[in-house]
Copies of this chain bind each other. A is one copy, B any other.
């Protein structure tokens, strides 16, 4: 499969999705101030970002609202308190996890909601459950995505079967998600080609969501983009679980479409993101995440190492090898 477009041109099919509140919320328990979220919303509109994800629509039966910031639940009125009727060109997204969302009770019909897109996140064995949700959201009138997580641990047959099932569904966008940050650009590119091939004769798009465990989030994003992936997730200053995501400032600096503006984002980063780091919210590339990325493992042990403010990298690495 040849590269689509070149490094100088504009690809009008590209959509940039900001998931700072959703993936970044995993770093601070979704406890962003309204001012922060409102300024990020305004920034994203000014920067030409195409979608902004506000958080999860998590089940209030499974999760106690008292234990989390409001963006774990993304109630309609909370989003509206930020965006009003969202009279902008930017669309609003939320994420719904398979098995952790009361989707039949917690979503309004699209005509009554300010939300435009529901992103359904699942592991590969949950594809049937994901498709049930996707069809439900599609019926309600929403754009939908299916974000298949931890793809570096799925085998090729599983991936092909999942893609065939999704090709038959109403889903609009299928996301390749490198949850463990263990893909190299060559892997990510090869997987992207498989995804793109699965939808080449139908009207569906492919997206990519990176993690920065091996410092490759941006590289993997532009590698998959070069073959035709068009929905690109990024976050301000790369904020996201563990090693974080593809940094929006790197991505906007790369894209040649003049609709994207780096400068508006820089103002937000200086005024809101760097203070967040200074307040002690922790994310970003570090050795412990590199280890789990190299070993193709969930970063949970690396996150615990970070939480405990440990610096004994060698001991930690040995413990990972012992539990291989």
Contacts and interface: CB of A to CB of B under 8 A. Distances in A.
A266 interface: yes
A323 to B, nearest CB: 16
Main secondary structure of the interface of A (DSSP, over half): helix
B184 A263 contact: no
Contacts of A222: 184-186
Number of copies: 2
A319 B306 CA distance: 37
B290 A253 contact: yes
A185 B185 CA distance: 9
A269 interface: yes
A274 B312 CA distance: 11
A216 interface: yes
B274 A311 contact: yes
A317 interface: yes
Interface residues of A, number: 36
Contact of A317 (B185, B216, B220, B263): B263
B314 A266 contact: yes
A226 interface: yes
Interface in A240-256: 247, 249-250, 253-254
Nearest to A3: B186
A29 interface: no
B3 A185 contact: no
Interface of A: 3, 7, 184-187, 214-216, 218-220, 222-223, 226, 247, 249-250, 253-254, 262-263, 266-267, 269-270, 274, 287, 290, 294, 311-314, 317-318
22 contacts: A3-B186, A7-B184, A184-B222, A184-B254, A185-B185, A185-B219, A185-B223, A186-B226, A214-B253, A215-B215, A215-B247, A216-B219, A218-B219, A219-B219, A249-B287, A253-B294, A263-B317, A266-B287, A266-B313, A270-B311, A270-B314, A274-B311
